Amino acid sequence: MKKSRDIKKEMSELASQRSSVYGFLARVYSRELNSALLNRIQDPRFMGVLFDLEVQLGDEFFSRPKHELLENLAVEYTRLFLGPGRHISPHESMHHQRNDGDWGKLWGASTVEVKKFIESAGLHYKPEYTGLPDHISVELEFMQVLTKEESRAWNRNDMDRVHYCCQIEKKFMNEHLLKWVHIFCNKVISDAGMSFYREIAAITKNFMELENEELGGCYSKAYEEQLLKARN
Amino acid sequence: MIQLTRRNFMKFAAASGAVLATGEGMKSKALAGTVQTQTGRDFSPTTKKERQAIPTACWQCVARDSMIGFVEDGRLVKLEGHPKSIRGNGHICARGMAGINQVYDPDRILYPMKRTGARGEGKWKRITWDEAVTELTDRIKKLRDEGHPEKFIFHYGRMKASAAKLIGGLVEATGTGSIGNHTSLCEAGKWTAQELTWGGHFDNWDIDKTKFILNFGSNILETHTNHMPVAHRIMNAKVDRGVRMVTFDVRMSNTAAKSDEWIPIRQGTDMAVFLAMTNVVLNKGLYKGDGEEFLKYCKCTEKHDDTVENKVEALKKHYANYTPEWASKISGVPAAKIEQIATEYATTKPAVLIAYRGAITTYNGTDSERARMVLNSLTGNIDNPGGNCKAVGAGWASAKIPKSETKKAKDIFDGAPKGQPESYPFPTHHASHQVLPRIKASGPGTFELALWYCYTPAYANGDVQGNIDVLKDEKLLPFVVSVDPFYGDSTHYADMILPDATYLERYDWEDMVDPTQIGEYYIRQALVKPLGESRDFGDVMIEICNRLGIKTDYKTKEEYVQQSVDMTPGVKEAGGWEYMKKNGVWNDGKAKYYSYKKEVPAEAIKEAGVVYDEEAGVYWNPEKAHVTENKGYFRSKNAYKGYVATKMGDKLIAGFKPDKINKSGYMELWSQPLKDVGMNPLPEWIPAPEHANIAPDDLHLTTFKVVVQTHSRTANCKWLSEIYPQNQAWMNPKDAAARGIKDGDRIKVKSAIGEMEILAHVTENAQPGHINISHHKGHWAYGRYASGKKSPVGADDPDDANIFWKGFGTHPNWIIPNKGDRIAGYQRWNDTLVKVTKA
């Protein structure tokens, strides 16, 4: 049987890893890739991991001159997520099919809820942030912050804090991310012209499923057990 | 197939962490602060909602009504009329309420864009505002440095009040005077006619005090330049005071239906009825009394100081042949009816005579409005309580706007293109619908940089295909910038799109005409922050000017508006900006009538430089008018700018102050400026050339507006397009039967320049010989609700299942050529003849 200290360390690590994935995905959706980020992704170590995941980025991702690839990725990002015209709006209020019918528009009821949720957790939107409050990158970033805080709380042995973070994570996952991200990702997967964004969407969707089913952070039964043990 | 498992998740997480460790993740963060366990706030959407009520102003149409916007948690949820507004009395229309759809339009452009493919291909890349402003500034600077600032054309659709003052001023400060507008698509001929007769343009009908409303060709209960402020007063007048209303219209509009009487009239012949009504008034002596008294202030012959008797004689002579029987043959209105209405109008005091689009969008449009002014004058219904008044609006002060020491403009805004046998002697509001044809005629090199602001040249003008051909041609228009909150039919052909803030996200002082004759001061406030990275173009122009070294005393348009408000007499004393932010509206409570009778102090003509012009009866100051070659008042360029007063007997009066045209201070029923260009100085009926040989199977095509749409800017408002999703062509049953057409059939409508297909609406509400098509629909790139081009994957809308209609309508402008009326060059929307067949 694992000792409580080991469980806490393990849980801290897990929360930190989840935070990294949320952070990475948040960055990818937040804006176009730049040269530095592309370098990191094309790094053999990162590519090895993607290979493990059976991610298919296609020949163009490696063979094209970098400046050309960056340009193509930027145009693809614009076409997919910004418009104008036909695009896949990366905002919850467009996809979260609420029972009250208040969805399918920008700055919808979900936008207000996400904004209030995030602000009620003590965070605020930076003045220089010009996007909408329910952009996918913001929601993922929020989870990144929460899981990072959870990780720190495990390390500090602050179980009230752990419990609080887990509650918020669970509530936010259930009320927001799990309500729409899979719908959004399916659309990107079927519409993406470049394999990079298609595969990122597939990873995102997969990660959401994993979060829900196994890692669970705070909401899966397994995690609740670990938490109980840790408290004891 | 990607399979993220617990095992490879850890590797992926580690790799992700490595990427973030470079600091990449920090650059794009949206959130700040730390997670807190106690914030004292509840995030339930159903509790503790903070609702703010903010006074602001509408902009869905040019009436710009005062409103209250309700905002919950940063989200705009409702718009209502401002109960304290003396213009609107708490009323706004359906279009105004649907303004929310503009802010949250899913087809909004949220970031600056630059095209990456061929022009019109629809491939775009996001750029930063810094890149966008740098590129635009560099291009303007290059033209300035080369000595050709005029090669930058700025063309706007709607730009009013503080936006016009600031943005228009700053564009001019860059050195270009190549500025186009779109008044020639709206009512330019009417304005020019007013400038020829009583000076400054815009008339107000004093509905609150009137006893009779006579309306020619205005669908005023559904749509109008000053729609709700006037429309709700008309309904009050009818219901509360039993005021009678008679409407002449080619079709039974809802306004005609709500009138006491609808009198069908052939398209473009309103002027003939005005002339015949005047004939009746003169011959029956109905001008005696008020009309006779007012004639003292009118110029009816070459002599400004002619006797009233001579004036009447001259008019009688001119109008002798314009009998009701003559007008009946032209207009289809029975002669007895013309006589009856003329008598009723002349004997019910006071009365208003409304004329708008139906009466003026034709070859005789400007002269038709002049003929109306004659009728108003002879019945004494000018600038009097209950009559046809000179418009009164707010007189805002303006914070300082820098000026260019030199300004150059391309001569391309005031005429027809070469080869078109038309000339417009008084295009005082420009013939901007002819700009694209003239660019084509002028060839490459005319402009290097084009910027459209709130303007959709492809859709709004006639001859849509011709417009598109010019817009696509990179030789004719090397670089095109479109400032627009939405992707649309014209932004599609831009090289760079700058996302504009919607009107509910910006600040303005506003000044639209007040039907009470008092003049309401009101402001527009941002209800929510501009969505995404969209910016008020006023802010962008300030930045461009500052980068060009042109200094301003403000960094944002909001600051400009605030400074102006705080400088404005009356408003300043009431509490200035803070007062206006809280209350939204202010007025001084003083109604203004008979402004022309106001006596001018003798000191005014003793000022240095002031001279008397015997021919005009006008005191004026050539120096003030910057006249370099004095050819007398009537014939010196821009002499009107030096107008001081009019001499009437031994009195000095303010008179009808001229604007844009060197007219005297009299009500010029007889026009010296028109005589000087070889035209008849009195209103003259001249049939439209294309109507001379009308074939038996030709129909008059007329266009109209409906109550829930504006011309080009509301079709993507979901609530409005749900009510009016597509247009149909109104046809009389006789015309339909003659062509084998039944209600709901698809028909072909063919003009000299093109053909369109549309559904037929066979109705007795259309007159024989006419086909009437509303002109809001048939967009091809403007958003999912307007054009049907919704995003195939991202455009889910729970209302999709409720769409009960098929098709998004047809735009009639594809088959209407760009032409101009014979005086002002105003677009002749309703002079097109068409042949109609079953499709």
- B667-668 and B298-299 as β-strands: parallel, antiparallel, unpaired? parallel
Using DSSP, how many helices (H) and how many strands (E) does chain B show? 29, 32
Amino acid, res. B247? T
Instruction: Give rounded-to-5 percent helix, strand, coil for chain A.
Output: 70, 0, 25
Same domain flag for B154 and B197: no
pLDDT tens profile B125-165: 999 999 999 999 999 999 999 999 999 999 999 999 999 99
Q: What are phi and psi of B788, to 5 degrees?
A: 85, 0
Q: Which residue has the tokens 């996809």?
A: A95
SS (H, E, C) B435-477: HHHHHHHHCCCCCCEEEEECCCHHHHCCCHHHHHHHHHCCCCC
Q: In this structure, are B360 and B468 located in the same domain? A: no
What confidence score (pLDDT) does residue B75 get?
87
Number of domains in chain A: 1
Looking only at the bridges linking them, the beta strands covering B833-838 and B152-156 are unpaired
Q: What is the ipTM of this complex?
A: 0.88
Residue whose tokens read 């001081």: B644
Domain housing A184: 4-231
B614 at interface of A, judged by CB pairs closer than 8 A: no
Residue B410 placed within a domain: yes
Output the pLDDT for position B808.
92
CATH number at B364 reads: 3.40.228.10
B29: chain A residues, CB-CB within 8 Å: 126, 129, 141
Q: Residue A164 and residue B204: Cα distance in Å, rounded?
A: 65
Closest residue by Cα to residue B396 from B228, B522, B538, B266: B522
Domain boundary among B626, B645, B672: B672
Q: Write down the pTM of the prediction.
A: 0.82
Contact B18 A45 (CB under 8 A): yes
Q: Are residues B332 and B270 in the same domain?
A: yes
Pick the residue from chain B with its C-alpha nearest to A146. B35
The dihedral built from the CA positions of residue B501, B502, B503 and B504, taken in this order, carries a sign that is: negative
Q: What is the SS3 assignment for B79?
A: strand
Specify if B584 maps to a domain. no
Assign residue A45 the CATH number of its domain: 1.10.3480.10
What is residue B496's predicted lDDT score, i.e. its pLDDT? 97
B199 and B221 in a common domain: yes
Ranges in chain B, pLDDT < 50: 38-48, 791-795
Q: What's the total number of domains in chain B? A: 4
- Amino acid identity of A97? Q
Report CB contact under 8 Å: B791, A138.
no
The CATH number of whichever domain residue B825 belongs to comes to 2.40.40.20
Between positions 729 and 788 of B, the ones with CB within 8 A of A are 781
Domain with B512, as residue range(s), is 134-180+399-482+505-572
Residues B763 and B614 in one domain: no
Residues B548 and B633 in one domain: no
Residues B626 and B719 in one domain: no
Which residues in chain A show pLDDT less than 70?
Answer: 1-4, 214-232
- Exposure string over B471-482, b if 16+ CB within 10 A, otherwise e: bbeeebbbbbbb
> Strand B755-762 relative to strand B729-731: parallel, antiparallel, unpaired?
parallel
Strand, coil or helix: B312: helix
Domain assignment of residue B463, yes or no: yes
**B8 close to A (CB below 8 A):** yes
- Beta strands across the sheet bearing B261-264: B261-264, B244-249, B212-216, B352-355
B583 part of a folded domain: no
**Residue of B793, B796, B797, B799 to mutate, testing the A interface (most A Cβ within 10 Å of its Cβ):** B793
* Interchain proximity B126–A78, CB inside 8 Å: yes
pLDDT in tens, B678-732: 999 999 999 999 888 899 999 999 999 999 999 999 999 999 999 999 999 999 9
B333 domain residue, yes or no: yes
Residue B40 lies in a domain: no
B184 touches B820 (CB < 8 A):
yes
**Tokens of residue B805, six digits:** 């209609």
Please check whether residue B71 is in contact with residue B52, taking contact to mean a CB–CB distance below 8 angstroms: yes
**Which residue of chain B has the CA closest to A100?**
B798
Contact B29, B13 (CB under 8 A): no
Contact A115 B74 (CB under 8 A): yes
Whole-angstrom Cα distance, residue B533 to residue B749?
A: 43
Q: Do B763 and B826 lie in a common domain?
A: yes
Shortest distance between the Cα of A220 and any Cα of chain B, in A, equals 14
Closest CA to B154 of B427, B462, B408, B453: B453
Final residue of a structural domain among B389, B419, B449? B389
Q: Which residue has the tokens 């508006």?
A: B561
Q: Is residue B733 part of a domain?
A: yes
* Chain B residues touching A17 at Cβ < 8 A: 9-10, 13-14, 17
DSSP-derived pairing of the beta strands B449-453 and B152-156: parallel
Residues B175 and B140 in one domain: yes
Contact B662, B685 (CB under 8 A): no
- In the prediction, which pLDDT does B492 show? 93
B529 is a domain residue: yes
**pLDDT for res B662:** 97
- Chain B's closest residue to A72, CA to CA, is B125
Hey, what are B828's tokens? 């002749």
d(C-alpha B481, C-alpha B182), whole Å = 18
Task: Determine the length of chain B.
Answer: 839
- Secondary structure element (H or E) that encloses residue A105, with its range: none
